[in-house]
Amino acid sequence: MPELRLENVGYRYKSGERDALQGVSCTFRDGEVSAVMGPSGSGKTTLLSVMAGLDRPTRGNVYLDGEDLSELDLDRYRRERVAMIFQAFQLFPLLTALENVALPMEMNGAKKAEAQARAKELLLSVGIGEEMHRRYPAHLSGGEQQRVAIARALASGARVLLAD
Amino acid sequence: MFSSPIPSCRRGELAETEAELTALAGRPNAGLLDLRFVFWDEELKQVVTPMEKNLRLMAVLYPAAIALSALIAAGLAALLLAQSAREAAILRALGARKRAVRAAFVFERIAVTLAGLALGLAALALLRGRAGASLSGDSLLCAGAYLAGTLLGAALAAIPAANRPPLSLLQVRE
């Protein structure tokens, strides 16, 4: 069964006096929606960073479908297997909604026309009508921007969706 | 008797020329009449001396101006690049390699700078052309220094921009 599994994960920042993460072990199974809760500074972002492959844990291991992340090319892992959604959307302001969604696919080597066709489908599937595809993020409402961001996260075909 | 031409006075040779002319006039057979040379150059000196000072100052200021323009280019490129830290973070989160992020930002700065320099040089050529002069090597040198400064500033600033932890840059601060 596909899953994201953390095993005794520890993380300490280079400048840190103590561990930001200590002995974190948990499993996120396919189809599950999980929430990580805790006060500010408790290490939520650090945990997400490690799961997103933006950082390697200083101790322990992260496995996706049984594959150890420490043995994977993390840039590729982020391009193909995880996607992130941010509270502040983080769309590129100088790209249209359509281009924002097409970008991850183009980064994965898809041709521009293909990527744009797929981006169109994705945008329509999250309820962004065709008239909004050529708009820049600044000309979309907050909710529309969030949906564009979700479409972008789905674009890479990633199995793991991380929302910060 | 008049075979030796009157020496022409070049920049910085005023004193020499004066001595030469005085010597010429003072020759025993410089003329049938008793020739005396009166050299009145106060006005000339008044005009030339500050000009010479200015020229000497320019000779010092010119390389300084070129160096300064390169420095400003480097600073500006670094500043603009530091402002794209958030974009760098999004690209990194989407899986772009650090190298690719750096290359993209440096390339962007160079492209914009080249376009700006081309516009500037074209305008300069137009202005000079009206005055009947062509574009000097100095302006090209200055443009080259500016471009080199941009390259250096962008390359140096791109390293930390791609290295910063993406998530901390992309979070909403509460």
Domain membership of residue A127 (yes or no) is yes
Cα dihedral sign, A112-A116-A118-A123: positive
Q: What is the CATH number of the domain that holds A36?
A: 3.40.50.300
Measured between beta carbons, the chain B residues lying within 8 angstroms of A80 are 95
The residue among A15, A107, A161 with the most chain B CBs within 10 A of its CB, best to mutate, is: A107
Residue in the block written with tokens 């594959």: A67
Between residues B32 and A71, which one has the greater pLDDT? Answer: A71
Question: Nearest CA to CA, how far is B101 from chain A (Å)?
Answer: 12
Per-residue pLDDT of chain B (174 residues; tens, 9 = 90+): 444 455 555 555 677 777 777 777 777 666 566 666 566 677 788 888 889 999 999 889 988 989 999 999 999 999 999 888 899 999 999 999 999 999 999 999 999 999 999 999 999 999 988 887 878 888 888 899 999 999 999 999 999 988 888 888 888 765
Query: Domain check: are A12 and A55 in the same one?
Result: yes
The answer, yes or no, to whether residue A153 has pLDDT greater than 90, is yes
Which residues from B are below 8 Å from A54, CB to CB?
Answer: 92-93, 165-167
Q: What is the span of the domain harbouring residue A126?
A: 97-163
Pairing of strands A160-163, A82-85: parallel
B173 touches A: beta carbon within 8 Å:
no
Q: With 60 as the cut, is the pLDDT of residue A29 above it?
A: yes
Which residue of chain A has the CA closest to B97?
Answer: A75
Q: Is residue A78 part of a domain?
A: no
B83 touches chain A (CB under 8 A): no
> CB distance B96–A92 less than 8 Å?
no
Q: Is A19 left (phi over 0), alpha (psi -120 to 50) or beta?
A: beta
Q: Give the distance from residue B78's alpha carbon to the nearest chain A alpha carbon, in angstroms.
A: 20
Over residues A15-24, mean pLDDT = 88
Angle at A149 between CA A56 and CA A151, to 5 degrees: 105
Q: Where are the domains of chain B?
A: 62-170
pLDDT at B132: 79
How many interface pairs between A and B have CB atoms less than 8 angstroms apart? 56
Provide the number of structural domains found in chain A: 2
Residues A64 and A102 in one domain: no
For B93, which of A45, A84, A87 is closest by C-beta distance? A84
Answer whether residue A151 shows pLDDT above 50. Answer: yes
- Sorted by sequence, the CB contacts under 8 Å of residue A60 that are 6+ apart come out as A6, A7, A8, A9, A10, A23, A24, A25
pLDDT at A44 over 80: yes
CA separation for the pair A127, A138 (Å, rounded): 18
Residue A55 lies in a domain: yes
Q: State the nearest Cα–Cα gap between B71 and chain A, in angstroms.
A: 29
The answer on A153 and A108 residing in a single domain is yes
pLDDT at B169: 85
Note the ipTM here.
Answer: 0.89
pLDDT tens digits, A95-139: 999 999 999 999 999 999 999 999 999 999 999 999 999 999 999
Q: Outline where B28-97 has alpha helix (H).
A: 42-83, 85-93
The distance of Cα B162 from the centroid of its chain, to the nearest Å, equals 33
Same domain, A101 and A67: no
Tell whether A126 is covered by a domain.
Answer: yes
Assess if residue A87 is contained within a domain.
Answer: no
